[in-house]
Structure 1
Amino acid sequence: MASRADNIASNLSLANFSKASELKQRIWFTIGALVVFRFLSFVPLPGVNPLILESLYDQTRGGILDLFNAFSGGSLERMSLIALGVMPYITASIVVQLAASLHPALMALKKEGESGRKKLNQYTRYGTVFLCAVQGWFLATGLEAYGAQSGLQAVVDPGLLFKVVAVISLVGGTMFLLWLGEQITSRGIGNGVSLIIMAGIVAQFPTFIANLFEGGRTGSVSPFVIFGLIAMVVFLILFISFMERAQRRLLIQYPKRASQRGMMQADRSHLPLKINTAGVIPPIFASSLLLLPLTISQFAGQTVDTTSFGGSMIVTLNQYLQHGQPIYLALYAAGIMFFSFFYTAVVFNPEETAENLKKNGGFIPGIRPGKNTANYLDYVLTRITVIGAVYLTLVCVIPEWVIAQTGVQLFLGGTSLLIVVNVTVDTISQIQSHLLAHQYGDLIKKAKLKGRLR
Structure 2
Amino acid sequence: MFNTIKNAWKIPDLRKKILYTLLIIIVFRFGSVIPVPFLDISKLGELMSEAGQNSALGYINMLTGGAFSYASLFAMGITPYINSSIIMQLLTIAIPPLERLSKEGEEGRKKIATITRYVTVVLGLIQGVAYYFYLRNSGITKYSAGGAGVFTAFVIVLTFTAGTALIMWMGEQINEKGIGNGISIILLAGIVARLPVTVGSLWQYLQLGQQGQPQYFVLVPLFIVLFLAVVWVIVFMNDAERRIPVQYAKKVVGRKMYGGQSSFLPVKVAMSGVMPVIFASAILSIPQFIQFFVNPTGGFWKSFFDAFSQTGWLYTLLYFLLIIMFAYFYMSIQYNPLEMANNLRQSNGTIPGIRPGKPTADFIAKILSKITLIGALFLAFVALIPIIYSNLTGMHGLMMGGTSVIIIVGVALETVKQLESQMMMRHYKGFLD
The two structures share one fold, judged by TM-score above 0.5: yes
200-209 vs 400-409, which moves further: 400-409
Aligned-partner Cα distance in 1 for 2:4–2:336: 40
Find the partner of 1:234 among 211, 218, 228. Answer: 228
Confirm or deny that 1:271 pairs with 2:265.
yes
What is residue 4 of structure 1 aligned with on the other side? none
TM-superposition CA deviations, 1:128-184 (whole Å, max 9, x none)? 122112222222233222x2xxxxx11112232223222322222222222222333
TM-score (norm 2): 0.84
Aligned-partner Cα distance in 2 for 1:14–1:331: 38
**Shift of the alpha carbon at 1:17?**
5.0
87-96 vs 65-74, which moves further: 65-74
**Shift of the alpha carbon at 1:42?**
0.7
SS at match of 1:251: strand
162-171 vs 193-202, which moves further: 162-171
Find the partner of 1:129 among 106, 117, 121. Answer: 121
Contact 1:63 1:291 in 2 (8 A): no
Contact 2:134 2:293 in 1 (8 A): no
SS at match of 1:367: coil
Aligned-partner Cα distance in 2 for 1:14–1:432: 9
Contact 2:191 2:404 in 1 (8 A): yes
Aligned-partner Cα distance in 2 for 1:180–1:96: 20
TM-superposition CA deviations, 1:423-447 (whole Å, max 9, x none)? 100111122334444554899xxxx
Aligned-partner Cα distance in 1 for 2:5–2:22: 19
Aligned-partner Cα distance in 1 for 2:403–2:374: 17
**Matching of residues 383-402 of structure 1 within 5 Å:** 383-402=370-389
**Matching of residues 26-425 of structure 1 within 5 Å:** 26-61=17-52, 62-145=54-137, 147=138, 153-158=139-144, 159-219=149-209, 222-254=216-248, 256=250, 262-266=256-260, 270-287=264-281, 292-293=286-287, 296=290, 300-301=294-295, 304=296, 311-317=298-304, 323-324=310-311, 328-345=315-332, 347-358=334-345, 362-404=349-391, 405-425=393-413
**Shift of the alpha carbon at 1:300?**
4.2
Aligned-partner Cα distance in 2 for 1:322–1:394: 18
TM-superposition CA deviations, 1:393-430 (whole Å, max 9, x none)? 21111100111223242222222221111110011112
Contact 1:20 1:438 in 2 (8 A): no
Identical pairs, percent: 35
What is residue 416 of structure 2 aligned with on the other side? 428
SS at match of 2:13: helix
Q: Cα distance 1:324–1:169, how it changes in 2: closer, same or farther (>3 A)?
A: closer
133-142 vs 12-21, which moves further: 12-21
* Structure 2 counterpart of 1:376, one-letter code: F
* Structure 2 counterpart of 1:73, one-letter code: G
- For structure 1, the residue ranges without an aligned partner over 5 or more in a row are 1-9, 148-152, 444-454
Highest Rg: 1 or 2?
Answer: 1
**Shift of the alpha carbon at 1:51?**
1.1
* Structure 1 counterpart of 2:412, one-letter code: T
- For structure 2, the residue ranges without an aligned partner over 5 or more in a row are none
Aligned-partner Cα distance in 1 for 2:172–2:315: 37
**Shift of the alpha carbon at 1:296?**
4.9
Contact 1:351 1:374 in 2 (8 A): yes
SS at match of 1:263: strand
Q: Cα distance 1:363–1:64, how it changes in 2: closer, same or farther (>3 A)?
A: farther
399-408 vs 264-273, which moves further: 264-273
TM-superposition CA deviations, 1:37-95 (whole Å, max 9, x none)? 11110111122211111222334443444443222211112111111122111111122
Aligned-partner Cα distance in 2 for 1:193–1:338: 20
**Shift of the alpha carbon at 1:208?**
1.4
* Structure 1 counterpart of 2:65, one-letter code: G
What is residue 20 of structure 1 aligned with on the other side? 11
409-418 vs 321-330, which moves further: 321-330
Contact 1:98 1:346 in 2 (8 A): no
SS at match of 2:37: coil
250-259 vs 388-397, which moves further: 250-259
Contact 2:248 2:259 in 1 (8 A): no
Q: Cα distance 1:114–1:180, how it changes in 2: closer, same or farther (>3 A)?
A: same
Aligned-partner Cα distance in 2 for 1:319–1:270: 49
Aligned-partner Cα distance in 2 for 1:360–1:419: 38
SS at match of 1:409: coil
* Structure 2 counterpart of 1:384, one-letter code: I
Contact 1:45 1:80 in 2 (8 A): yes
TM-score (norm 1): 0.81
Aligned-partner Cα distance in 2 for 1:251–1:293: 46
Q: Cα distance 1:64–1:353, how it changes in 2: closer, same or farther (>3 A)?
A: farther
Q: Cα distance 1:18–1:338, how it changes in 2: closer, same or farther (>3 A)?
A: closer
Aligned-partner Cα distance in 2 for 1:170–1:261: 71
**Shift of the alpha carbon at 1:191?**
2.1
**Shift of the alpha carbon at 1:318?**
5.7
**Shift of the alpha carbon at 1:339?**
4.3
Q: Cα distance 1:396–1:28, how it changes in 2: closer, same or farther (>3 A)?
A: same
> C-alpha root-mean-square deviation of aligned residues, in Å?
3.2
Aligned-partner Cα distance in 2 for 1:339–1:18: 35
* Structure 1 counterpart of 2:257, one-letter code: M
SS at match of 1:273: strand
Aligned-partner Cα distance in 1 for 2:252–2:37: 70
SS at match of 2:376: helix
